[in-house]
């Protein structure tokens, strides 16, 4: 089932001459985890905003084409209506704290109160989100007293608790340490397995390679490619779009180690190791 | 950025006063604050004060009142001093303190004002110290206050300190790049100008991002809002509220006809 349909999407911010999104077309199936990669200014954040309706409802500007989210055409729907289908976590967790709640627990409840859920459902969802992001111990803390990483996890938990069909994360691990990043990716991977469609714009290429089902490459607002991580990171021209391949892929490319059947290069450490063992046998050990 | 505590005065606790519905406390504060203006001031104010002090003691927040009321007490002391000395109806000599001669009329007038103010102040302190601002706002929203106004009221307590922290961070950044921010008044005034731009811009950007974050969390969703906190709608609380309002009406009636 197609959860996201983007057709010939074009968008230009007000008072700028350049298209931030230039003729994008793609579809995403339910339960897919999609990684969006690209250099700074490629249009990753703008695409995230377009997938939630904030472009063009919040950010005006020139808009063309069509985005359909969960059967709702974005331009014809209110953000408040879209919010029940698609959730977004922005780069800066600080500005996502509502500022009206005194504890993390209440902060996560904010969206659920607006959705009109009854109390038992609310507490069950909050506990689940706290557990999933491993922040149960922070539930009574003041949201503004959290560190950047803790705040980022709370922001993700706040949106996950609303259980949107589609979850958009714009650099969700920018303030997290490697272990924290891993936990967030594992959590969203699990959500995708349960049927949530997840879109992640991210610079941490290794994480995208390891967790994404498909990867969308943007460059100057244009869609360069949209395929599996293996096919994307095996492209030899990837660096010319400002995106390096994962370091394991680069090593395998340098050594000429490929998957024998597909001809693509390994994208994770485990895959690289297995491919090396397969190709060179025991001489590696 | 440095984190800053919320402006809320709430002291966590689980006393019977903490558990009272915020609206009940709000009605109590209003009634207790207004009664000394309607009924004979001194005995009423003393009675209300005694009740408020008892509630503060039960909620274990009595010691927190002192820093809150310290400055006002200083002002009231000066009123006692000035009225005791210079009130226009001063006639009856009471006592002499060095070169100062105090009169009964002035002191009794100042005492009446002081009692009313302290009564009001302690009532408000009781409400602030034993009620989470978000609970009070929730209660008001449940009774028809617009959620948008409710949000503005509750967020102000948290967001203003954060904005102050942003100003400090921007000041530090400017200082690190050589801006003189300390010294004579003229130097400080000069330093103020380069701060205005970044402070306003960052506040606007943050406000816009926060507005988006609220929007995508269904703030404007056309659904009936529910609340995490259960409303404490016991019949006992309703009785207390009705009783308080009846006392207020009785006082007004007494004032009109007596």
- Domain A2-243 grouped into CATH 1.10.3720.10: no
Query: Residue B192's pLDDT band (boundaries 50, 70, 90)?
Result: confident
Q: What is the dihedral of CA A3, A5, A11, A14, to 10 degrees?
A: -40
Residues of A in contact with B161 (CB under 8 A): 144
Give residue A120's pLDDT. Answer: 95
pLDDT in tens, A84-94: 899 999 988 88
* Whole-complex ipTM: 0.84
Mutate to test the interface with B, among A113, A124, A156 (most CBs of B within 10 A): A113
User: DSSP code of A244?
Assistant: P
- Closest-CA distance, B19 to chain A, in angstroms, reads 17
Model pLDDT, residue B207: 86
Question: pLDDT of chain A along its 285 residues, tens only?
Answer: 889 999 999 999 998 989 999 999 999 999 999 999 999 999 999 999 999 999 999 998 999 999 999 999 999 999 888 998 999 999 888 889 988 888 999 999 999 999 999 999 999 999 999 999 999 999 999 898 898 889 999 999 999 999 999 999 999 988 888 888 888 899 999 999 999 999 999 999 999 999 999 999 999 999 999 999 999 999 989 999 999 999 999 999 999 888 878 889 999 999 998 888 887 765 555
User: Is some CB atom of chain B closer than 8 A to the CB atom of A121?
Assistant: no
Spatial neighbors of A158 by CB under 8 A, at least 6 apart, are: A96, A107, A108, A110, A111, A129, B217
CB–CB contact A122 B228 (8 Å): yes
Judged by average pLDDT, the poorest of A160-164, B117-121, B216-220, B228-232 is B228-232
Contact across the interface for B209 and A90, Cβ inside 8 Å: yes
Give the pLDDT mean for B214-236: 85
Determine, for residues B212 and A84 on separate chains, whether the beta-carbon distance falls below 8 Å: no
On whether the CB atoms of residues B210 and A158 are closer than 8 A, the answer is no
- Residue B178: count of CB within 10 angstroms of its CB: 6
Q: CATH 3.40.50.300 in chain A, residues?
A: 2-243
- The residues, ordered by sequence, that sit 6+ positions from A18 with a Cβ below 8 Å of its Cβ are A12, A221
In degrees and rounded to multiples of 5, residue A223 shows phi and psi of -85, 115
B228 and chain A in contact, CB less than 8 A: yes
Place of tokens 């130097």: B187
Nearest-by-Cβ selection for A84 from B132, B212, B221: B221
Question: Which among B3, B154, B227 is the nearest to A144, CB-wise?
Answer: B3
Give tens-digit pLDDT for B200-217.
Answer: 888 888 888 889 999 889
Which pLDDT does position B2 carry in this prediction? 45
């Amino acid at each position: 089932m197609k959860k996201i349909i983007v057709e010939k999407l074009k968008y230009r911010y007000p008072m700028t001459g350049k298209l931030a999104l230039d003729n994008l077309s793609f579809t995403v199936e339910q339960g897919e985890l999609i990684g969006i990669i690209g250099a700074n200014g490629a249009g990753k954040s703008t695409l995230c905003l377009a997938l939630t309706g904030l472009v063009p409802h919040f950010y005006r500007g020139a808009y063309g084409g069509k985005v359909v989210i969960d059967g709702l055409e974005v331009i014809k729907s209110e953000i408040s209506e879209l919010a029940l289908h698609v959730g977004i976590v922005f780069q800066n967790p600080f500005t996502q704290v509502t500022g009206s709640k005194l504890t993390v627990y209440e902060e996560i409840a904010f969206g659920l109160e607006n959705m009109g859920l009854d109390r038992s459902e609310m507490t069950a969802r909050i506990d689940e989100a706290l557990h999933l992001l491993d922040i149960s111990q922070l539930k009574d803390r003041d949201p503004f007293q959290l560190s950047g990483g803790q705040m980022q996890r709370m922001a993700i938990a706040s949106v996950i608790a609303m259980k949107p069909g589609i979850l958009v994360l714009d650099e969700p691990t920018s303030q997290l340490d490697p272990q924290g990043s891993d936990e967030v990716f594992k959590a969203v991977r699990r959500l995708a397995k349960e049927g949530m469609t997840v879109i992640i714009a991210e610079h941490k290429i290794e994480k995208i390679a390891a967790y994404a089902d498909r990867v969308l490459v943007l460059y100057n607002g244009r869609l360069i490619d949209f395929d599996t991580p293996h096919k994307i990171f095996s492209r030899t021209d990837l660096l010319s779009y400002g995106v390096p391949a994962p370091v394991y892929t680069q090593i395998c490319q340098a050594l000429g180690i490929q998957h024998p059947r597909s001809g693509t290069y390994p994208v994770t450490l485990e895959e690289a190791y297995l491919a090396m063992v397969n190709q060179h046998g025991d001489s590696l050990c | 950025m440095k984190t800053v505590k919320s402006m809320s005065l709430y002291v966590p606790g689980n006393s019977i006063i903490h558990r009272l519905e915020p609206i009940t406390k709000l009605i109590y504060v209003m009634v207790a604050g207004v009664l000394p203006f309607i009924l004979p001031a001194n005995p009423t104010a003393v009675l209300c004060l005694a009740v408020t002090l008892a509630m503060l003691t039960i909620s274990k927040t009595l010691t927190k009142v002192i820093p809150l009321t310290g400055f006002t007490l200083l002002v009231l002391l000066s009123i006692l001093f000035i009225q005791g000395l210079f009130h226009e109806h001063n006639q009856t000599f009471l006592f002499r303190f060095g070169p100062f001669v105090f009169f009964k009329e002035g002191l009794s007038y100042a005492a009446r004002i002081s009692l009313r103010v302290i009564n009001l102040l302690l009532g408000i302190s009781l409400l602030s110290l034993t009620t989470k601002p978000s609970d009070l706002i929730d209660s008001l929203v449940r009774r028809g206050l617009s959620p948008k106004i409710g949000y503005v009221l509750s967020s102000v307590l948290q967001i203003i300190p954060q904005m102050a922290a942003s100003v400090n961070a921007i000041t530090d950044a400017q200082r690190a790049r050589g801006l003189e921010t300390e010294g004579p008044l003229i130097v400080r005034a000069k330093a103020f100008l380069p701060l205005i731009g970044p402070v306003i811009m960052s506040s606007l950007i943050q406000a816009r991002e926060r507005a988006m974050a609220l929007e995508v969390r269904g703030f404007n969703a056309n659904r009936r809002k529910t609340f995490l906190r259960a409303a404490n709608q016991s019949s006992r609380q309703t009785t207390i509220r009705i009783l308080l309002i009846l006392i207020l009406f009785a006082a007004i009636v007494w004032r009109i006809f007596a």
